[in-house]
Each structure stands twice: as C-alpha cells, then as structure tokens.
C-alpha cells in the first residue's frame, strides 16, 4: 500500500539569448547545448516511459524565455545547423578513432545520441520542442508549470508591485498562448520568495509554488508537518518546501551521485585536445576553442590522468544510484508515514540542465528511478503538487519565510558588490514604466508598440541570470552588456515616448532583436 508520495520537479530555464546580428555569438550555444544534452534526452526518456506504460509523474517548470527560444524560427534554423555540424564532426571522429576501439565505442555512443536528437527534433517535433511538451502533457503524467517572464529575482526587483505583477502576468499569458491553458503552479525564480508575492500569484489563478527548505521550516506559525506537506498562505496559494535529505543525498560531496568515478568527465572536451586545423571548422566561434560536447573520458578519480569513458559502466552506476535513491525514499516515506496523520510528500526540485549537460548520466538515472519505483517497491508513488492538493485540499495556514535557494539561503548572491549597481537602474526603469503605463492608458498604435517594446526591454534587463553571472565572474562582460543594452533601450524608448518622437525605424530594429512575447501588454504595469 502506498504510504506517501515523492514529487520530482525539474526547472528548465535559459535566459533569452538570441543574436540575429551574428550566428557566432558564443552564448547562443547555451541553448543548443541544453537542447542536445538535456531537453532532448529528457524528452526521449519521457516518451519511452509513456510508451512502456510506466506510471511515473513529474513536474516540469518551463521558463517563458526558454519557450520563446524554442518557438523562434531563427534559433530553430540555427540549432539544426548546429546539430548537422556536430554530426559531421562525429563522422570525422569515427574515422580518426577507428583504430582506438575504446574511443571509437564512445564516438558511436555520441553518433547514436545525436542521431536520436536530430530525429526527435527535426522529424518528430518539426524543430519546435514546445510540440514535444504539448504531446507529453497529454499523457497526464507530466504537470507543466512556468516561472517569471524573464526569471526576474522578485524580492529584489519588486520595488513596484507592477513589476512583479508583470513578471507573473506575462509569463502566465505566454504559457496560456503556448499550451492553451493556465498552469496550476509557479516556479519562483531561484526559489526566491518575498512574503506578499503569493497574493499576486493567487490573483492570477496560481494554486502553488515552491520554496527552499527553510522557507517552510521558518514559516509562521511553525508547520505541523515540517516540509512534508504544503502550507497555505493567507492568499490561499500553497507553498511546497524542498526536501533536505534528498538534496544532501543527491548532491552532497560525500554521498552525491554525479561525482562517481565511472561517470563521464565534463571538463575533457575534444575541443581542447585536437589540432587547430582539424577542429577549427567545428568551433562555434572561429578561433575560439569552446566545448563541442564530445567528451571521451570518465571522472576516474582525483587525478589529471583520466581513463576513457565506458558507457556501460556509467549506465550501470546510474542504475545503482537510482536504486539507492529509491531505497532511501522508501525508508524516508515509511518513517514519516508512521508519524503523520496524512500521507507525507517529499519534494525533490532540481535545475533541469544538471541532467545530461553536467551530469551526463542524469537522464538515465531518472529513467531507472521511475522504472524501478514503479515495479520494485510499493511504499511510495510519484505525484505532482497539483494532484497532492486535490488529495489534500485542507492545509495548514502559515506564512513562509523570505528565502531563496542561493548560497546562504537569502538574497546575497543577487545583491553584492559585483551586481548591486543594477538595481538603481532596474528600479528607476520600473518606476518609469509604471508612470508611462498610466500616462499612456490610451496610446496610439505607434506609442503602443513603443510601450510594449519598453516593457520587453525592462523584462529582459530584469533576468536574474545577469546578476548571477556578474557574481560568478565568468562571462561578466556579456551580462553587463545585456543589462546595459536592455536598460539603455528602455530609457531611450521612454525618452522618445515622453517627448512624442518615437523613432519608428529604430523601434522596428529593436522589435526584431528583442522579439519575445508578441502579445505583451504594457498595461500590466498599472497595478490593479
């Protein structure tokens, strides 16, 4: 008999990176790599699980910027070129490694993976992965949700309520446009919760969101079930807390799975190992060595001398780790059920991009986990937050604590010496946008276009990704430029609107560059 439930949540997000002015912008490769290594492998395993009748359940948060990139014809076209280029490199590698069986075996694995990715992407889903998730959702086994329009860090950008409302409303409108219905849940970017933001979610029909462990543990009043059941905010929205034990077991240095020595080593890409002349045609940016995705070694140990990857061994470890994860959840749920007067729920949220891109065997691990849990045990079942709320609609009234899942649990990753300068401009732009939306309640067609574009530019400047990159110290120039350009375009548009001199030719150019959310409505900045 089922004693409790486990919810797997994958949050898939990339910032909006699209550069029509050049096909050689390195950051666009984030999107191509994530498609190849994370999203398509995940889609493949979900398809197999559904085909085989495995009763799994998963919650997927798809960010509006990622959905927009999947739908964009230019990026679709460029991704096909990327895949074909990779296939060509693999063909060449098959020849080069023909006399090195241990390497050739790995190249063949990549050949198979990329062929599967290509078939899924191009032939089955017509170059648009939104089609994949529409299909998968039909199975009833996948609950799709979304997050802030551009992944804005709500506790820090939300000086004006209209700014938070717009991040939420634009996201939900776009999700509805793409999938034909509103999501039941909402992923707060970086799990960053600010008490009161739930009221905006409630007003927009959202039933639940997630917070980090201490968001629930430090809730007021103290929650009866700790993190093993949702609490209900005064707005009526449910808050689910991340399980601590699961986070430790999967990711900790001592017990974590992804560092296993049989797993594929991320940092040994052939891009850095082959002759210039050989590798040059396959580099995304000419003359700059950057990952091709072909990595032939296993982690091996704490050594620079890496041994060749053996796919069968990596797969074997993924199966073992899935079994270990399942065993631990059985024990956990069994114990909790003995002490609770309802079925406990264990929430396991992760960034989707860890699966496949960083942890190469992650998708295999997930597939093994779902298969084993379905057939090898009866203690727990997988569920979604929506289903759990249907089962247990009466939850304890409590207010979660302000929290995030960033380093040290609060706002410091996105507010420190490297990135604090952005908020002066973001808040000023937010204030200006709110004023403009009031002043231009009834705008001309051209003004409406300029106002909607100003809204897009503000949203793009608000992406939490830029502050995070500034903090981590890699690709900082790009993050600074994106912030400056979007805020700069915003203020230029605001200035033209205020002076009644909108430059239509320039507006057209900016609309073409920052072209997401075609149905955006700037009125959302005028708070209700």
Partner 1 sequence: MWLFFAAILVVLVIGGVYLINRQTVILRKPVQLAENSEPIYQLPQNYGKDYIVLMVKDPYWLHAYWEITSTKHEDFLETFGSASWRDSQPVLRVYDVTNEDDFNPVNAPFYDIPVNDWAQNWYFKVGQASHSFYVDLGRILPDGRFTLLARSNMVTTPRDSVSTVIDPQWPPLEAVWQTLNLPNESLPYGLSSAELVKKGLVK
- Binding-site member from 22, 99, 499, 500 for partner 1 (CB under 8 A): 22
Which residues are paired to 209 by β-bridges?
A: 186, 239
Binders of partner 1 in range 505-524 (CB under 8 A): 505-506, 508-510, 512
Judged by beta carbon, residue 98 or residue 512, the one nearer partner 1 is 512
Rounded least distance, CB 112 to partner 1, Å: 18
Query: Which pair of tokens denotes residue 98?
Result: 């023909």
**Interacting positions 421-450 with partner 1 (CB under 8 A):** 423-425, 427-428
Minimum CB distance to partner 1, residue 29 (Å): 6
Q: In angstroms, rounded to a whole number, what is the distance separating the alpha carbons of residues 522 and 524?
A: 5
Q: How many residues bind partner 1 (CB under 8 A)?
A: 123
Q: Minimum CB separation from partner 1 for residue 258, in Å?
A: 5
Quick one: tokens of 21?
């002015």
Shortest approach of partner 1 to residue 53 CB, angstroms?
31
CA dihedral sign of residues 487, 493, 497, 500: positive
Q: CB-wise, 297 or 523, nearer to partner 1? A: 297
Q: How far is the CB of 406 from partner 1 (least distance, A)?
A: 6
Mapped onto helix, strand or coil, the DSSP state of residue 97 is: coil
Q: Which is nearer to partner 1, 501 or 505 (CB)?
A: 505
**Cross-strand pairs, 355:** 359
d(CA 397, CA 374) in angstroms, rounded, equals 33
Of 99-107, 138-146, 169-177, 283-291, the window that binds partner 1 (rule: CB under 8 A) is 283-291
Exposed / middle / buried, residue 153 (Cβ in 10 Å: 0-12, 13-18, 19+): buried
Least distance (Å) between residue 373 CB and partner 1: 20
Q: Which of residues 86-145 bind partner 1 (CB under 8 A)?
A: 87-88
What are phi and psi for residue 142, nearest 5 degrees?
A: -125, 125
Nearest to 44 by CA among 149, 115, 143, 138: 115
Q: Which two tokens stand for residue 229?
A: 């059941």
Q: Considering only residues 239 through 258, tell me which ones interact with partner 1, judged by CB under 8 A.
A: 244-245, 247-248, 251-253, 256, 258
Choices 116-124, 128-136, 172-180, 215-223; region in contact with partner 1 by CB under 8 A: 215-223
Site for partner 1 in 312-341 (CB under 8 A): 332, 335-336, 338-340
Distance set, CA 195 to CA 158, 377, 398, 414, 497 (Å): 12, 39, 11, 18, 35
Interface segment toward partner 1; rule CB under 8 A; list 112-120, 321-329, 437-445, 468-476: 468-476
- Give 504's strand partners: none
Residue 308 near partner 1 by CB under 8 A: no
Tell me the closest approach of the beta carbon of residue 301 to partner 1, in angstroms: 11
Q: Which CB, 130 or 285, lies closer to partner 1?
A: 285
CB of 442 to partner 1, least distance (A): 27
Q: Does 457 contact partner 1 by CB under 8 A?
A: no
- Beta carbon nearer to partner 1, 31 or 173: 31
Number of helices followed by number of strands (H, E) in the chain:
20, 10
d(CA 355, CA 353): 5
Q: Which is nearer to partner 1, 408 or 500 (CB)?
A: 408
Q: Is 418 in the site for partner 1 (CB under 8 A)?
A: no
For position 33 contacting partner 1 by CB under 8 A, the verdict is yes
Helices (H), 296-395: 311-339, 362-375, 385-391
Of positions 126, 234, 290, 498, contacts partner 1 by CB under 8 A: 290
85 is a site residue for partner 1 (CB under 8 A):
yes
Interhelix angle 464-472/421-439, rounded to 10 degrees, is 170
Q: Which residues, 336 to 365, sit near partner 1 by CB under 8 A?
A: 336, 338-340, 344, 350-351, 353-354, 357-359
Structure tokens at 454: 């100003």
Question: Closer to partner 1 at the Cβ: 177 or 300?
Answer: 300
**Which SS3 state, helix, strand or coil, does residue 296 take?**
coil
Binding part of the chain for partner 1, among 108-116, 169-177, 203-211, 225-233 by CB under 8 A, reads: 225-233
Cβ atoms within 10 Å of 118's Cβ, excluding its own: 17
Q: Which of 442, 474, 500, 528 binds partner 1 (CB under 8 A)?
A: 474
Name which of 173 and 291 has its Cβ closer to partner 1.
Answer: 291
Q: Residue 394, Cβ neighbours under 10 Å: how many?
A: 7
Distance between CA atoms of residues 261 and 264, nearest Å: 8
Measured in degrees and rounded to the nearest 5, phi and psi for residue 484 equal -65, -40
Helix (H) or strand (E) holding 287: none
What is the C-alpha separation between 325 and 246, in angstroms, rounded? 8
Residue 189 contacts residue 222 (beta carbons within 8 Å): no
Candidate residues 155, 185, 311, 430; the one interacting with partner 1 per rule CB under 8 A: 155
């Amino acid at each position: 008999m089922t004693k409790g439930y486990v919810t797997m949540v994958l949050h898939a997000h990339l910032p909006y990176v699209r550069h029509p002015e050049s096909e050689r912008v390195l950051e666009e490769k984030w999107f191509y790599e994530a498609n190849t290594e994370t999203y398509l492998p995940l889609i493949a395993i979900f398809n197999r699980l559904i085909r085989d009748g495995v009763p799994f359940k998963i919650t997927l948060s798809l960010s509006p910027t990622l959905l927009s990139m999947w739908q964009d014809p230019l990026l679709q076209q460029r991704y096909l070129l990327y895949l074909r280029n990779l296939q060509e490199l693999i063909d060449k590698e098959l020849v080069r490694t023909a006399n090195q069986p241990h390497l050739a075996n790995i190249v063949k694995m990549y050949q198979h993976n990329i062929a599967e990715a290509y078939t899924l992407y191009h032939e089955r889903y017509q170059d648009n992965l939104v089609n994949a998730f529409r299909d998968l959702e039909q199975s009833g086994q996948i609950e799709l949700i979304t997050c802030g329009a551009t992944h804005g860090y709500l506790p820090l950008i939300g000086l004006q309520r209209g700014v938070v409302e717009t991040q939420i409303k634009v996201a939900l409108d776009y999700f509805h446009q793409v999938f034909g219905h509103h999501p039941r849940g909402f992923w707060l970017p970086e799990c960053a919760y600010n008490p009161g933001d739930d009221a905006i979610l409630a007003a927009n029909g959202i039933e639940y969101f997630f917070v980090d462990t201490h968001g629930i543990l430090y809730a007021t009043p103290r929650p009866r079930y700790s993190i093993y059941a949702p609490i209900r905010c005064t707005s009526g929205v449910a808050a689910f807390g991340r399980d601590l034990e699961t986070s430790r077991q999967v990711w900790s240095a001592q017990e974590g799975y992804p560092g296993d020595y049989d797993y594929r080593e991320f940092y040994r890409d052939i891009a850095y190992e082959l002759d210039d002349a050989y590798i040059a045609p396959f580099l995304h940016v000419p003359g700059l060595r950057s990952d091709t995705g072909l990595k032939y070694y296993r982690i091996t140990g704490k050594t620079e001398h890496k041994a060749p990857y053996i796919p069968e061994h990596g797969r074997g470890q993924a199966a073992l780790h899935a079994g270990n994860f399942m065993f631990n959840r059985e024990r956990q749920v069994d114990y909790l059920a003995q002490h609770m007067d309802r079925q406990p729920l264990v929430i396991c949220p992760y960034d989707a991009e860890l699966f496949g891109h960083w942890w190469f065997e992650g998708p295999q691990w997930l597939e093994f986990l779902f298969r084993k849990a379905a057939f090898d045990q009866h203690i727990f079942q997988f569920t979604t937050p929506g289903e759990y709320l249907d089962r247990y609609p009466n939850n304890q009234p409590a207010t979660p604590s302000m929290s995030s899942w960033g380093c040290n649990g609060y706002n410091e990753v996105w507010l420190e010496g490297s990135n604090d300068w952005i908020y002066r401009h973001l808040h000023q732009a937010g204030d200006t946008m709110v004023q403009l939306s009031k002043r231009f309640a009834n705008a001309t067609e051209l003004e409406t276009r300029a106002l909607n574009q100003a809204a897009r530019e503000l949203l793009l400047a608000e992406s939490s990704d830029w502050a995070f990159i500034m903090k981590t110290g890699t690709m900082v120039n790009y993050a600074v430029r994106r912030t400056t350009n979007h805020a700069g375009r915003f203020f230029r548009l605001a200035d033209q609107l205020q002076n009644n001199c909108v430059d239509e030719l320039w507006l057209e150019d900016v609309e073409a560059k920052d072209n997401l959310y075609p149905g955006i409505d700037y009125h959302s900045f005028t708070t209700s």
